[in-house]
Structures are given as structure tokens and as C-alpha cells.
Amino acid sequence: MGLLPIVAMVAIFYFLIIRPQQKQSKKLKEMRDAMQKGDSVVTGGGIHGVITNLKGDVVTVRIADSVKIDVDKSALTVIVKEVSAQ
């Protein structure tokens, strides 16, 4: 009888916190795996740019006409939309 409330609390904790976080992580990983040249992205620091090159876990992002930065794929948080390659 004393073990049932503890088991119930663990189950509630799992379904309210852990499971949604796992789903969000899976969705973010799928988004990062689907990135391609020409996609408009936002980094975790809020920098907006367009992907110009993908090499493993490093992504080159053009943030201005002649400014390109290399960022880790895990630093990209949002794909805004697909932009035609220039």
C-alpha cells in the first residue's frame, strides 16, 4: 500500500516531463538531419542565415553577403523556410 503512491508519482513524472522532452529531442534531431543547402536557419544564439555547406556536424551559414560562419549542427534550432540557392 505504501509503494503505490511512489509508483504513481514516478509514472506521472514520466508522462508529464520526460516523455514530452524525448519527443521534442527526436523532432529536433529529425529536423537537423533533414537540413540541406539553401535552408534558412536560426542558431541558438539568434543568428539568422542561409546554409551554404554541410560537412558532417559542421554547417557553414551565410549571415551577410560576404560573411560566412561555421557552426555546429547542434547549434541550429530552427529551419525558417527553404530559400532558393544563390
- Name the band, by pLDDT with cuts 50, 70 and 90, for residue 65: very high
Spatial CA neighbour of 45 closest among 14, 72, 19, 17: 72
CATH 2.30.30 fits 36-86, yes or no: yes
Provide the pLDDT for residue 79.
87
The strands making up 39-43's β-sheet, listed across from edge to edge, are: 67-72, 58-64, 48-55, 39-43, 76-82
Strand partners, 53: 60
Residue 42 in this model has a pLDDT that exceeds 60:
yes
pTM for the complete prediction?
0.69
* Domain positions in the chain: 1-34, 36-86
Cα distance between residue 4 and residue 51, in whole Å: 52
> Would you say residue 85 has pLDDT above 90?
no
